[in-house]
Each structure stands twice: as structure tokens, then as C-alpha cells.
């Protein structure tokens, strides 16, 4: 049990003033603007939006500035902010098939209708520190080329496989209500939609580690990246007063279709199975890790033995949220004086009992 403490107001106020000065850093160095963070730390902003579970690049950039770049603290600020806002409703499901693709790659087919485009990627860079970036200077402009006629049409790789029945279909939309873990606590077993919601907002490092564990044999799923696509998708919402879909604007998303080894039965021939990942912004690592863990969590549904952490939905869902995890871990540093006093008394009593018990034994040993 946690017993509260009182006092320390002046020290806390002064600590927060000191924090403000530390946040600003050396005043001879120009201050960062929110727009600079949004534009130049874009992938960090994307991660705050994804794990904060709120798409708003300016807000995520501001949270990062306030948090001195501490990712989990920024997620905390964003999550706290969202609780102050009313919810107008849920969007029309996002149509990732109609994405304006800025990047699209497949590890399964080299020739795809619509083609593969690398977009702005770290892939194939040499990972050598570029000291030229330490000096201010002009950036080389990006190359341009005329898009080919087929560029606007990018069917999903999974749809290509589905034409021959080689891959399982997505679970059908039966119009049932969709669980929302921000509104009701999670009941286990949780369905796939709820699991995907938890993974989408889950800590990238934790989900990545679990995904890696499946590759190393803890719940192996034999994955291939069917397709990763990054780009903008229109968000639509149907307000009651209008009764038709209103376009809200466009959000950048990353989608990963993972293609995994087969499942068949006496009744159905073998087919590839699937894992799915979707995240805000350009967050490929997260979307890939999410897709791997999504597939691992389907173990029971697909008749696989549930023996590894990444297949255990209660383990994964209860621990993947960075804010919940940090809350419980970091609360340990708050004053626990009363708790600890009780522990001290207990350990002293146990030691006294131990000494009392051992005394006669020692005397006997001395006598021998």
C-alpha cells in the first residue's frame, strides 16, 4: 500500500523552474521552434504520434520540446492532452489501398503492378556519420522523374496472392462493434482488433524485441515482407448533422503486410497466413514488428502451440504500453517511507528471531 507524503512545495516549484532552464539549455544556442522539431525530427514526431495514439504533428513536436526529447514523457503529455478533448466519433475505415504512395517495397515479388519505389529511406545507406550535416549548408534537391502510367494503381501484394487462393483472406467485416481499449478495460482473450489497437500504440522497443524473439525461434512464423507502403491517406468522418463522409484531410501512414508460412487442414489446402501492421507517419520498424507480433498472437487460432512470450496475448498486451510500464516502474522512486518503515521493522524482527534460534546451536557447537 502506498501512503502519501506531504510537504516539499517550495523545492518542487524550484525544481520545475530549474527544469525549464535546463530544457532551454545554453541560451547562446538558438532555441528550437516547434516547426523545426516537426520538420527535422519527423520520425521522432511520428513515433510520439503512434505511441501517444494521437495524430497531430504539431502537438507531438510541442510535447517533444516540453519533454526535452524524452520519448515516453512526450507520449505521456500527448495521452494526457487527449483526455481533455471530446470524441466526435470514429472515422470511416482508412482506405490504405488508395494511398498516395511515397514508398512501396516488397521482399516477395520484384515485379509488382505499380512498381516498387524506395522513397526517402535509410535502407542502402552506409551508416557513416555525415559530418557535412554539422555545418549549415544547402541540401541537394531531390531528383524528379515522370511517373509511369501504372504508378497510380498499387494493388496490395496480398491481393495478388489471393487471386490464386494462395493466401488467407482478411477476416471479413461483419459490421460488429469494435472494442476500444481506451474506453473499456481489456478482457482476455482479446480479439484480433483489440490486439492490433494495443500493438499500434505499444512501445516500439518492446514490440520490436518480441518480434525479434519470434525470428529467433520463440514462436517462429517464417515471415516475408509481402509489402510495406508509406504515404498519405484521406481520413473521412460522417457527422450526424451532414449524413455524408466529410474529408478531414490526409494523414501519413505506414502499412506492413507480412506473409507467413502455411496453414492447411483436411478440409482446406495449405495457404500462406498473414500478419498486419499499421502505424502513423513513417514508422516502418514499428509496422513490421507489429505485423510479426500480430501473426504470433494468432497461434491459438491457427492451431499452433502457445509456448513463447510473443504468442501469449496477456503477456504482450498487458506489458506493451510504454506509459503503463513507465508509470509502475517510475512510481518506485516516489517516497515510500511508510512502506519501507514496515519492511525495516519486519526484517529486524526476522533477524532477531534468527539470532534467537541460532544461539543455542552455537553454544552446543562451542561445547563440542
Partner 1 sequence: MTPNPAGPEPGPEIVARQAVMALCADASRTELEVALTRLDVPAAEDLRAPETGLVMATGRIGGDGRPFHVGEVSVTRAAIRLADGGTGFAYHLGRDRTKARLAAILDALWQDPARRAHVAAALADAANRAEADRRKAARQTAATRVEFLTVARGED
Site for partner 1 in 195-234 (CB under 8 A): 196-197, 200-201, 234
Residue partners of 57: CB distance under 8 A and separation at least 6? 38, 42, 45, 49, 281
Cα three-residue angle 124-278-327, rounded to 5 degrees = 100
Q: Do residues 255 and 170 lie in contact, with contact meaning Cβ atoms separated by under 8 Å? A: no
Question: Which residues face 234 on adjacent strands?
Answer: 250
Query: Contact with partner 1 (CB under 8 A): which of 86, 185, 269, 360?
Result: 86
CB of 316 to partner 1, least distance (A): 16
Helix (H, G, I), strand (E, B) or coil at 320: coil
Distance from C-alpha of 75 to C-alpha of 168, rounded to nearest angstrom: 36
Query: Contact with partner 1 (CB under 8 A): which of 18, 43, 246, 307?
Result: 246
CB of 145 to partner 1, least distance (A): 4
Give the total residue count for the chain: 368
Q: Which is nearer to partner 1, 25 or 165 (CB)?
A: 165
Q: Which is nearer to partner 1, 145 or 334 (CB)?
A: 145
> 304 to 363, contacts with partner 1 by CB under 8 A?
none
> 103 to 142, contacts with partner 1 by CB under 8 A?
103, 105, 110, 115-119, 142
Residues in contact with partner 1, total (CB under 8 A)?
Answer: 88
- Alpha carbon 316 to its chain's center: 12
CB of 60 to partner 1, least distance (A): 10
Q: Do residues 283 and 43 lie in contact, with contact meaning Cβ atoms separated by under 8 Å? A: yes
Query: Contact with partner 1 (CB under 8 A): which of 193, 304, 318, 326?
Result: 193
Q: Does 102 bind partner 1 (CB under 8 A)?
A: yes
Q: Does 59 bind partner 1 (CB under 8 A)?
A: yes
Give Cα separations from 63 to 49, 52, 85 (angstroms). 10, 10, 16
Query: What's the half-sphere exposure (Cβ side, CA atoms, 13 Å) at 152?
Result: 2
Query: Contact with partner 1 (CB under 8 A): which of 55, 218, 224, 262?
Result: 55
> 135 to 154, contacts with partner 1 by CB under 8 A?
142-148, 151
CB of 216 to partner 1, least distance (A): 26
Considering just the CA atoms, what is the radius of gyration of the chain in Å?
27
Amino acid at each position: 500500500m502506498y501512503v502519501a507524503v506531504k510537504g516539499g512545495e517550495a523545492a518542487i516549484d524550484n525544481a520545475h523552474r530549474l527544469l525549464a532552464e535546463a530544457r532551454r539549455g545554453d541560451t547562446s544556442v538558438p532555441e528550437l521552434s516547434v516547426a523545426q522539431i516537426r520538420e527535422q525530427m519527423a520520425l521522432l514526431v511520428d513515433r510520439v504520434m503512434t505511441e501517444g495514439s494521437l495524430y497531430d504533428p504539431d502537438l507531438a513536436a510541442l510535447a517533444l520540446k516540453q519533454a526535452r526529447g524524452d520519448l515516453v514523457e512526450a507520449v505521456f503529455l500527448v495521452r494526457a492532452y487527449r483526455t481533455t478533448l471530446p470524441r466526435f466519433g470514429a472515422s470511416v475505415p482508412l482506405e490504405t489501398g488508395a494511398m498516395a504512395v511515397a514508398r512501396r517495397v516488397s521482399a516477395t515479388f520484384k515485379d509488382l503492378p505499380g512498381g516498387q519505389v524506395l522513397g526517402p529511406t535509410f535502407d542502402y545507406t552506409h551508416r557513416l556519420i555525415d559530418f557535412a550535416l554539422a555545418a549549415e549548408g544547402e541540401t541537394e534537391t531531390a531528383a524528379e522523374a515522370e511517373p509511369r502510367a501504372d504508378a497510380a494503381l498499387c494493388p496490395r501484394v496480398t491481393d495478388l496472392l489471393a487471386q490464386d487462393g494462395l493466401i488467407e483472406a482478411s477476416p471479413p467485416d461483419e459490421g460488429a462493434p469494435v472494442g476500444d481499449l481506451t474506453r473499456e478495460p481489456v478482457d482476455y482473450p482479446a480479439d484480433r482488433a483489440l490486439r492490433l489497437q494495443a500493438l499500434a500504440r505499444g512501445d516500439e522497443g518492446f514490440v520490436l524485441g518480441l518480434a525479434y524473439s519470434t525470428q529467433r525461434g520463440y514462436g517462429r512464423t517464417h515471415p516475408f515482407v509481402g509489402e510495406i507502403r508509406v504515404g498519405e491517406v484521406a481520413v473521412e468522418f460522417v457527422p450526424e448533422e451532414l449524413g455524408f463522409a466529410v474529408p478531414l484531410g490526409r494523414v501519413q501512414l505506414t502499412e506492413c503486410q507480412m506473409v507467413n508460412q502455411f496453414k492447411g487442414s483436411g478440409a482446406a489446402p495449405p495457404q500462406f497466413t498473414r500478419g498486419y501492421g499499421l502505424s502513423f507517419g513513417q514508422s516502418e520498424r514499428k509496422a513490421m514488428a507489429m505485423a510479426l507480433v500480430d501473426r504470433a498472437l494468432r497461434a491459438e487460432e491457427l492451431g499452433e502451440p502457445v509456448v513463447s512470450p510473443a504468442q501469449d496475448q496477456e503477456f504482450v498486451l498487458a506489458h506493451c504500453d510504454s506509459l503503463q510500464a513507465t508509470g509502475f516502474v517510475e512510481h518506485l522512486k516516489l517516497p515510500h517511507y511508510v512502506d519501507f518503515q514496515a519492511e525495516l521493522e519486519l526484517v529486524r524482527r526476522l533477524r532477531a528471531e534468527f539470532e534467537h534460534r541460532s544461539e543455542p546451536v552455537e553454544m552446543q557447537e562451542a561445547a563440542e
